[in-house]
Amino acid sequence: MIIRIKKELVSKVIILDKHRILLLKRSSNIVTKQSPWTWDLPGGHIDDGEKAEDAATREVEEETKLNVSSLSLLGQDSNIGKLTYFYVAEDWEGSIGLSGEHEEYKWVSGTELGNYENDIGSMYYKMIRRALKT
């Protein structure tokens, strides 16, 4: 018997403003022992039948009220039970308005990013660093 475990699919977007990255502070009720990171990238779950890029665009709008266009796939990474697609957005418009999932946002420069490494997790940190080199 073959047992298949469905992987959770997620899209995240690294929004750039010149050489600064948009980080979102997760609401305290969302931070748990299983997901202890306090800072996040916009994005979220990919719905059944939804394309990863469409989910990325939708999630950014839901979480930040920003409209992103011209997403570039940076890569993907996986951990136990989760596959995450990472996109870069340099074209965006609107004013930031946060959903209930986040309580604060910051534009962080590449030189400041190291201060957030433990707060965003190694996978996100690695991908953000990669985005800044492109």
Best CA proximity match to 52, nearest among 92, 10, 8? 10
**Domain coverage including residue 129:** 8-133
Task: Judge whether 1 lies within some domain.
Answer: no
More confident residue, 31 or 86: 86
Q: How many structural domains compose the chain? A: 1
Say if residue 101's pLDDT is above 70.
yes
Cα-Cα-Cα-Cα torsion 60, 61, 66, 67, nearest 10 degrees, comes to 100
Domain containing residue 124: CATH number = 3.90.79.10
Q: Give a yes or no: residue 3 inside a domain.
A: no
pTM score, two decimals? 0.90
Position with higher pLDDT, 131 vs 34: 131
57 vs 62: CA distance, rounded Å: 9
2 belongs to a structural domain = no
- Per residue in 55-79, pLDDT (tens digit) is 999 999 999 999 998 999 999 998 8
- How far apart CA 122 and CA 125 sit, in angstroms, is 5
